[in-house]
Chains A and B, each alone.
Chain A
Amino acid sequence: MRRRDFLKIAGLGFISGLFLSSVSFSFKPTRRVRWGITIDVLQCKKNRDCKVCIEACHEIHNVPDVPDPKEKVMWIWTSTFEKAFENELGPLVKETRGSDPVLLLCNHCENPPCVKVCPTGATWKREDGIVMMDYHRCIGCRYCMAACPYGSRSFNWKDNRRYIKKLNYDFPVRTKGVVEKCNLCEERISKNLLPRCVEACPYGALTFGNLNDFQSSPSRLLRERLSIVRKPHLGTLPNVFYLL
């Protein structure tokens, strides 16, 4: 083969390779659904003692109200601005707004550390972004609790059935020795209902929707207003956004 022919063929191969790779890249399927929640911090501040969403969630999911603070089980709870956004706020803001109430729940991270450490696959990330728990597979090793930087997971140290005030017969309880957390109302989403906390909020402080959908209410709000997520430097990419 002559040098000239070799260069011709090599060049042709290079160009067609470029073309093919660009085509395959553009046909890469993108995830259709990415569930997300926005929480309006200002609304929660205005109604400081409001616990409607927490009570509503814990009621339908049979979350026990354990009196011992060390053994508390929480799917959604409140903390202060200062504690929830330790590294994100400047010192002066901490003085003025540090004690504002902030609603906390599982962030359903894009890059969930709890999923990585689970040895049994009992927790995993669904296609639509929900970080799910399979209580059948959980062996209670609590690696996920150690890995979660947001404290979103609770352990059942004992049979907590007795601490459930009013049992919702349509939802299971959790047995002793498993870790539990918010499931983003997966059982309601499958029936086209909003998560209970979003639905229950009397002030419309919470919105829920598909972040990949340009028209959904959270993506509209995220375009219009400033938002922060918890501990962004960890790279977990939360799907719960706090509107400022």
Chain B
Amino acid sequence: MKRVYDGKKIITGLVLFLAAFTSPFWYNTVFGTFDYVPELKVEKNGKECVKRTSYMKTNHMVLLRFWRDEVVRSGKRIYKKEDGTEIEMSLSGTCLKCHKNKEEFCDRCHGYLGKAPRCWSCHNVPREAKK
């Protein structure tokens, strides 16, 4: 095998780079926070959600996008839940009236995943939800 010029420096540099690059993983392993999952404060306020929890966990954005298009593009404002009750399709008016704690419900998970939704650049957090 041919000798690598400045092999020592290069290999040391690569090892240092990899160590720095993966340092968050090592940090979490050492301090035991590797399997941290954000805990959400689910306030139901005695009402059933629009769809079942397992669906909402994975597909709330699909539902919200559907609501957005229905209200804005088609002018339909009423959504019929599976149990037949009718609710208004509104993020601020319906979702956040139940899930009053946006910081501990929306933001906690979205912050953990580093996924900032753009809803709040226009839509308001209702007054009573602001804590």
Determine the chain B residues whose CB is within 8 A of the CB of A136 once the complex forms.
68, 72
Determine the chain B residues whose CB is within 8 A of the CB of A134 once the complex forms.
72-73
Counting chain B residues whose Cβ lies within 8 A of the other chain, the interface size class is: 10 to 19
* Nearest B-chain residue to A135, judged by Cβ: B122
B72 touches A173 (CB 8 A): no
Number of A residues contacting the other chain (C-beta, 8 Å)?
16
Q: Does A222 contact B (CB under 8 A)?
A: no
Determine the chain A residues whose CB is within 8 A of the CB of B93 once the complex forms.
170
A196 CA to B77 CA, complexed, in Å? 20
Given A134-B73, A136-B72, A186-B75; A170-B122 close (CB under 8 Å): no
1/0 per residue A175-209: CB within 8 Å of B? 11000000000100010000000000000000000
A134 CA to B73 CA, complexed, in Å? 8
A230 CA to B73 CA, complexed, in Å? 28
Determine the chain A residues whose CB is within 8 A of the CB of B121 once the complex forms.
175-176
B72, B122, B125, B126: the one within 8 Å of A174 (CB): B122
A79 CA to B92 CA, complexed, in Å? 36
A190 touches B124 (CB 8 A): no
Determine the chain A residues whose CB is within 8 A of the CB of B122 once the complex forms.
135, 172-175
A134 CA to B122 CA, complexed, in Å? 12
* Nearest A-chain residue to B93, judged by Cβ: A170
Given A170-B93, A175-B121; A132-B72 close (CB under 8 Å): yes
Shortest distance in angstroms between B124's beta carbon and chain A's nearest beta carbon? 5
Q: Does B123 contact A (CB under 8 A)?
A: yes
A190 touches B68 (CB 8 A): no
1/0 per residue B60-95: CB within 8 Å of A? 000000001000110101000000000000001100
Q: Closest 6 A-B residue pairs measured CB to CB? A: A175-B121, A172-B122, A169-B124, A172-B123, A134-B72, A175-B122
A12 CA to B21 CA, complexed, in Å? 86
